[in-house]
Amino acid sequence: MKTYIENFKKYRFLLWELVKKGVKLKYRRSYLGILWTLLEPLFTMIVLSVVFGTLFNNKDPHFPVYILCGRLMYSFFSSATNGAMKAIRTNAGMIKKVYVPKYIYPLSSVLFNYIIFAISLIVLVAVATVLKVYPTIYLLQAIVPLILLLFTAFGVGMILSTMAVFFRDLEYLWSVGLMMIMYASAIFYKPEKLLKSGFGWILKCNPLYLLIHNFRQAVYGRPMNMHFLAASVVFAIVSVIVGLIFFYKKQDQFILYI
């Protein structure tokens, strides 16, 4: 264990460089640059609010905030897991030439997406202020689902990145999986009806929905749902442990497949 930590320390600078590279290159050569991190969720929020708010006759004046909470968390999860999944193959050039602990690559990919996500939360603050959703003491809870989200994305990302080395079609499969997760996360609809129907378990089995729900509770100034919290803690821990063990067991074979 001690050698792992020392090894990690040694490559901290590389991790930082890779995270920086991700953020820097994401918007290089675009005129608005990092501003897109704010504009993109803002535009999708407007579209989704108009479509699902007006068309479905949703009277909730805070609906844009509701959408934004879900949409921001989902898009982090989606880009982080996608990035981690492809991390080994995109860095094949390095991996074949120099020894570097391989988990650095998926980890950096998750972290850089988390930084972008953190920046994009500014939009949420702005929209919430405009719509008069003011912070309460409950907002402090928000840190819990946000941290759990990072761990969940990392765990799932590690599992995906290991599998994607051996099976390339995982990339296509996962985009279908992400779509299902999106619809099962109650991003742009209210889940009450669904929860009461026979299909409520779909939402409750979806760790992303549990996290989004508790994050919204914090934003709206309400206590978290403790059952949901417990379930998402378990999921985060299990996915990280499974991801690390799986990755560790298979990593020596990576080079034969990339």
Partner 1 sequence: MANKEVLRVEHVGMKFNLSQEKVDDLKDYVIKLIKRQLSYNEFWALKDINFSLNKGDRLGILGLNGAGKSTLLKVIAGVLKATEGTVTSKGKIAPLLELGAGFDQQYTGRENIYLYGAVLGFSRKFLDEKLDEIIEFSELGKFIDVPVKNYSSGMKSRLGFSVATLVEPDILILDEVLSVGDAKFRKKSEAKIMSMFDKGVTVLFVSHSLEQVQRLCNKAILLEKGRIISRGSIEEVSEIYEQKTK
6 forms part of the interface with partner 1 (CB under 8 A): no
Site for partner 1 in 26-55 (CB under 8 A): 28
CB of 95 to partner 1, least distance (A): 7
5 forms part of the interface with partner 1 (CB under 8 A): no
Classify residue 180 by burial, with Cβ atoms within 10 Å: 0-12, 13-18, 19+.
Answer: exposed
Site for partner 1 in 53-82 (CB under 8 A): none
Span interacting with partner 1, options 24-32, 81-89, 113-121, 176-184, rule CB under 8 A: 24-32
* Contacts of 4 by beta carbon, 8 Å cutoff, 6+ apart: none
CB of 94 to partner 1, least distance (A): 4
Q: Residue 13 and residue 172: Cα distance in Å, rounded?
A: 33
Q: Residue 207 and residue 27: Cα distance in Å, rounded?
A: 30
17 forms part of the interface with partner 1 (CB under 8 A): yes
| CA distances (Å), origin 237, targets 50, 132, 183, 246 | 38, 36, 24, 14
The tokens for 237 are 């821990």
CB of 167 to partner 1, least distance (A): 5
The tokens for 205 are 């089995």
Span interacting with partner 1, options 72-80, 114-122, 184-192, 248-256, rule CB under 8 A: 248-256
Please pick, from the candidates 167, 175, 179, 193, the single residue that binds partner 1 as defined by CB under 8 A: 167
| CA distances (Å), origin 148, targets 69, 183, 191 | 15, 20, 22
Residues of this chain that bind partner 1 (CB under 8 A): 10-11, 13-14, 16-18, 21, 24-25, 28, 93-100, 166-170, 173, 252, 255-257
